[in-house]
Structure 1
Amino acid sequence: MAKQKLNTQAIGLDIGLAFTKWVTGAENLHYGLWTDLEVTAGNLRTAQDRYTEKLFELLPTTPCRILDIGGGAGETAAKLLALGHEVEIVVPSDFLAERCRTNAPKARVHQMMFEDFEHSKPFDLCLFSESFQYIPLKDGLPKCLTMLTPKGQIIVSDCFRTPAYKIQPKAATVGGGHRETLFRDLLAEQPLRITSEEDITKAVAGSVELEQALFNVFGYGIGRIDDELSAKRPKLRWTLNKVIRALISERKRVKLDQRLNQQTRSAENFCMYNRYLMIRLDRV
């Protein structure tokens, strides 16, 4: 039997969800809006609520049928349902699908990749809230067009890579998403027009620094343990290091050290190599 590859992306999302709930009491995975707000864990809930409020400004003014693509833990869907919208969610993770069913019980949850999703009734709106980057570019907008009503809309709220991303130092890697130039090239070929677009990169960048600060706390804790082992249990430390080197490649160890002990994932680097856009597209 072939060895199955670990789904580290799904693991990371699940862990991130558990941590965010512990800090804020809500199961939100998205960035926050930090304008005029101190970047601290205590303000995370407020920043994320501000993000959702801004996102909802792009919604139709009357209740409609919405496909929430990559719906996280269902927190956004629950708020959409409270506004009177009909919501279906597509999410690939077993854990997240279960959280969606718990947090938004009136939503229909489809546990599968978006690329495999088949609709039974057209939608008025396809919503990507930080999920567009996880879907192959060729499958995003074109597939949505096959599922929309004649006057349907698409909202894309996510990170895109700037041209500077191609020449960035490896140590400065932060953020992700599709290349903005390729996205706009594809968009120009679709029967869609931009009816709203806003660059909120600077406003959300604080989330990156908060995440980096969290990893530095973990790094400090691991470093303290390593110091104690080095001073008092050197043989045990030697054994543990040998096991770690056998299990984790040098490239991954370097990347892990960067994440835990450095501050390269900064707001400045995020703004240089990424652009966070909130875009509403209308079908033409």
Structure 2
Amino acid sequence: MNYRHAFHAGNFADLVKHAALLELLARLQTSNEPLQVFDTHAGRGLYDLTGDEAQRSGEAEAGVGALMAAGDLPDALASLRAAVSQLNGGGEASLYPGSPLLVAGRLRRGDGYLGCELRPQEHSALSEALAGWPAARTACADGYVEVPKRPVGGGRTLVLIDPPFEKSDDYDRCVGALDAITRKTPAAVVMIWMPLKDLETFDAFLRDAEDAYGRPLLVAEARMRPLTDPMKMNGCALVLANAPDGFDAVLKDICGWTVSRLGDGGQARVWTAA
């Protein structure tokens, strides 16, 4: 796989995914139950937005750059902006936290995190980024295989499935992981991130996910532009199993702001697939 998230760190899709992740953490940590978080495709955990990859793509400037400068930010995106600001000491956003660092900074006593990253070089960077967080562990492993082994026992479970979608079987493997995780841990909250290119691919995934899960799924779409060119990433979507009550309102705020401020003739949609 030649995917390098450093080219895309801090873009609109990261804003949607990471704002939702932080809000999920906040909801699931309202009780005293321990929380275990699993990340199937953790990446390197920390991204330098001044690096060559980020500068070449320009995606961070149009994403997190706009987030940090916004004067009309909804509460659902405020935690992400605060996390980015804290990481950068209140200065210009030159560093961007991936999901591992965002989660690690919010782990309570008794909580835990496992981030899987298959590529050795990226895993090495991930281990370094999380070195100061003893409750955050890493595995140089295939998250599709590793994570379904883990969510068991008491407490709460949150799983982020966030592959690069460069392999033709990523959609099928997401469905397989959702099925395996929720069979073993029925109450696990699972959030799948995916790109939106064309409706045919997305609808086919949803049909398979609905068949595998057998219960309603919460779906959030941030269509940044009309889905007319399947060769482009026209937006992104989140698909959630066991979403907390009322979480649709949070997703509407996140997707609505992102599309209205950063999109081009797009549309935000949040709905239930049953």
Larger-gyration structure (1/2): 1
The answer to whether the 8 Å contact 1:155/1:278 transfers is yes
SS in 2 for 1:146: helix
Q: Is structure 2 residue 161 aligned with structure 1 residue 128?
A: yes
For 1:188, the equivalent position in structure 2 comes to: 210
- Which structure 2 residues correspond to residues 1-284 of structure 1 after superposition, within 5 A? 9-10=1-2, 12-13=3-4, 17=6, 29=9, 31-32=11-12, 48=14, 52-59=18-25, 60-62=27-29, 64-74=35-45, 75-84=98-107, 85-105=111-131, 106=134, 107-117=136-146, 119-122=149-152, 124-131=157-164, 134=167, 136-148=170-182, 149-163=185-199, 179-202=201-224, 269=229, 274-282=234-242
Q: Following TM superposition, by how much is the alpha carbon of 1:188 offset from its aligned partner in structure 2, in angstroms? A: 2.2
Distance 1:56 1:129, change over 3 A: farther
Identity within the alignment, %: 10
| 1:43-73 Cα deviation digits (max 9, x unpaired) | xxxxx55752244224443152111111111
**Which amino acid in the other structure matches residue 44 of structure 2?**
A
Q: Following TM superposition, by how much is the alpha carbon of 1:194 offset from its aligned partner in structure 2, in angstroms? A: 4.1
- Kindly report the root-mean-square deviation, in angstroms, between the aligned alpha carbons of the 2 structures: 3.5
| 1:179-220 Cα deviation digits (max 9, x unpaired) | 112202201212353453221121xx7xxxxxxxxxxxxxxx
| 1:71-117 Cα deviation digits (max 9, x unpaired) | 11123112112212421111111111011111123322121223442
Residues in 2 aligned to 1:61 and 1:199: alpha-carbon distance in whole angstroms: 22
The answer to whether the 8 Å contact 1:70/1:89 transfers is yes
Q: Following TM superposition, by how much is the alpha carbon of 1:160 offset from its aligned partner in structure 2, in angstroms? A: 3.5
The answer to whether the 8 Å contact 2:196/2:234 transfers is yes
The answer to whether the 8 Å contact 1:58/1:280 transfers is no
Q: Following TM superposition, by how much is the alpha carbon of 1:270 offset from its aligned partner in structure 2, in angstroms? A: 6.8
Distance 1:200 1:129, change over 3 A: same
For 2:54, the equivalent position in structure 1 comes to: none
The answer to whether the 8 Å contact 2:197/2:227 transfers is no
The answer to whether the 8 Å contact 2:198/2:227 transfers is no
Residues in 1 aligned to 2:221 and 2:104: alpha-carbon distance in whole angstroms: 27
Residues in 2 aligned to 1:136 and 1:267: alpha-carbon distance in whole angstroms: 20
The answer to whether the 8 Å contact 1:68/1:88 transfers is yes
Number of matched residues? 174
Distance 1:188 1:133, change over 3 A: farther
Unmatched segments (≥5 aa) in structure 1:
1-8, 21-27, 34-47, 165-178, 206-265
For 1:225, the equivalent position in structure 2 comes to: none
Residues in 1 aligned to 2:165 and 2:112: alpha-carbon distance in whole angstroms: 21
For 2:83, the equivalent position in structure 1 comes to: none
The answer to whether the 8 Å contact 1:92/1:112 transfers is yes
Q: Which has the higher helix share?
A: 1
